[in-house]
């Protein structure tokens, strides 16, 4: 795959963005009822993939044994990830609350499929969340991610598939359907699902968009609203022009126009809303070839972005990937607005037991020429 499709991040750093809305885990740990806890856990599972919105770049594959650690005392968690297999590439992660209220761990094996005009990434691997106070364990698998127009046209991304979140102690299950955009893009980014007990009785309905927010309502009100909506759509239904369809050829897929807001059903409860991104989040360094980095150093007297290799035999790689602002607010270790002094990258195991841990400082991200 050409390097132009990469973003200057290691996949281990990308996984850390799961913890951007970690407050949902803390809220779930404080809820007394299992239904309320499942609502917060479901919102956290959806928020974990929200950072992929408009992120069409593929992160770099880590080296075998490479690790990344992030400690956020302000958000109350510690996170560490490691590349445990190279063929196939498998990344494992473990996170824990600083107040010993939760454990969050799992492994991800992204299976890539090329479909001509699009690339599909199926994130195989089970994710587990343990609420220690309630002695509960929740497991689920992330939806499938697809990037369109990888050959020609404007890149755009969608998530689709079914996510099942299971509470292994109480038997409660949340089934979430990430809908594909469809022919006219009406279902783009939409998520719908429900929470059921161990007897498969629907207790709560969840709807929204994984790029914006998530709402919940009781099943009776939801079905009543849907019946009225279907009745209105039937009256306004028009014939589709068959001649407007395009054949599946080399023509780029048009980027569907998505509604910017979610239609809120009266009586709904807000479960989660995405954080506002920094104003400079889209201004990241594009991935360049190593020769381009060398020319950049000679011209401007600085080092180029990307991973640095040492001059030693069998040298190591430090995942130093500067940006002008991350797409999310979680990874403050790589922002200009605020750098976490505890964010660090461990290279132990790559250079031997005597390897040092290199801490990220503000200078690491200000030295790159603008």
3-state SS assignment for residue 336: coil
3-state SS, the chain, equals CCHHHEEEEEHHHHHHHHHHHCHHHHHHHHCCCHHHHHHHHHHHHHHCCHHHCCCCCEEECCCCCCEEEEEECCCCEEEEEEEEECCCCEEEEEEEECCCCEEEEEEEEEEEEECCCEEEEEEECCEEEEECCCCEEEEECCCEEEEECCCCCCCEEEEEEEEEEEECCCCCEEEEEECCCCCCCCCCCEEEEEEECCCCCEEEEEEEECCCEEEEECHHHHHHHHHHHHHHHHHCCCCCCHHHCCCCCCCCCCCCCCCCCCCCCCCCEEEEECCCCCCCCCCCCCCCCHHHHHHHHHHHCCCCCCCEECCCCCCCEECCCCCCCCCCCCCHHHCCCCCCCCCEECCCCCCCCCCCCEECCHHHHHCCCC
Is the per-residue pLDDT at 309 higher than 80?
A: no
- Cα separation, 333 vs 121, in Å, equals 27
Specify the CATH architecture of the domain 3-238+263-274. Beta Barrel (2.40)
Instruction: Give 152's pLDDT tier (boundaries 50, 70, 90).
Output: confident
- Cα separation, 172 vs 168, in Å, equals 8
Phi, psi angle pair for 360, to nearest 5°: -80, 130
302 against 364, higher pLDDT: 302
**H-helix or E-strand spanning residue 30:** helix 23-30
Out of 30-34, 230-234, 251-255, 341-345, the most confident range is 30-34
Is the per-residue pLDDT at 111 higher than 60?
A: yes
For the chain, the domains span 3-238+263-274
Is the per-residue pLDDT at 249 higher than 50?
A: no
365 against 195, higher pLDDT: 195
Is the per-residue pLDDT at 128 higher than 60?
A: yes
Bridge partners of 204, per DSSP, are 195
Nearest to 101 by CA among 128, 149, 133: 133
43 against 341, higher pLDDT: 43
Mean pLDDT of 199-220: 95
Two structure tokens written together for 308: 């640095």
Q: Give residue 291's pLDDT.
A: 43
Q: pTM of the entire structure?
A: 0.71
Q: Give residue 173's pLDDT.
A: 97
Q: Give residue 310's pLDDT.
A: 40
């Amino acid at each position: 795959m050409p390097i132009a499709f990469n973003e200057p991040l290691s996949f281990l750093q990308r996984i850390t963005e799961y913890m951007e809305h970690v407050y949902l885990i803390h809220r779930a740990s404080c809820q007394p009822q299992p239904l309320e806890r499942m609502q917060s856990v479901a919102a956290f599972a959806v928020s974990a993939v929200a950072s992929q919105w408009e992120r069409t770049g593929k992160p770099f594959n880590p080296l075998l044994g490479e690790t990344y650690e992030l400690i956020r005392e302000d958000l109350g968690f510690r996170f560490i990830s490691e590349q445990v297999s190279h063929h196939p590439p498998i990344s494992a992660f473990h996170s824990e609350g600083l107040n010993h209220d939760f454990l969050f761990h799992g492994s991800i094996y992204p299976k890539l499929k090329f479909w001509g005009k699009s690339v599909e990434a199926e994130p195989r691997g089970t994710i587990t969340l343990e609420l220690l106070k309630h002695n509960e364990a929740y497991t689920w698998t992330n939806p499938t991610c697809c990037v369109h127009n990888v050959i020609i046209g404007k890149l755009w991304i969608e998530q689709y598939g079914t996510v099942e979140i299971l509470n292994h102690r109480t038997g409660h299950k949340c089934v979430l359907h990430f809908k594909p955009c469809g022919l006219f893009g009406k279902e783009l980014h939409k998520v719908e699902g429900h929470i059921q007990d161990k007897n498969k009785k629907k207790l709560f309905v969840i709807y929204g968009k994984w790029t914006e927010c998530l709402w919940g309502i009781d099943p009776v009100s939801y079905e009543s609203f849907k019946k009225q909506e279907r009745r209105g759509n039937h009256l306004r239904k028009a014939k589709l022009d068959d001649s407007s369809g395009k054949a599946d050829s080399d023509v780029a897929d048009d980027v569907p126009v998505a509604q910017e807001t979610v239609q809120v059903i009266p009586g709904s409860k807000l479960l989660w809303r995405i954080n506002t991104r920094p104003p400079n989040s889209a201004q990241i360094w594009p991935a360049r070839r190593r020769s381009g980095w060398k020319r950049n150093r000679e011209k401007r007297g600085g080092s180029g972005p990307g991973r640095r290799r040492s001059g030693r035999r069998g040298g190591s790689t430090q995942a130093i990937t500067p940006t002008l602002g991350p797409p999310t607010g979680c990874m403050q270790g790589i922002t200009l607005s605020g750098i976490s002094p505890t964010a660090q990258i461990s290279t132990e195991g790559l250079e031997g037991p005597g390897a040092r841990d290199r801490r990220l400082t503000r200078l690491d991200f200000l030295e790159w020429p603008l």
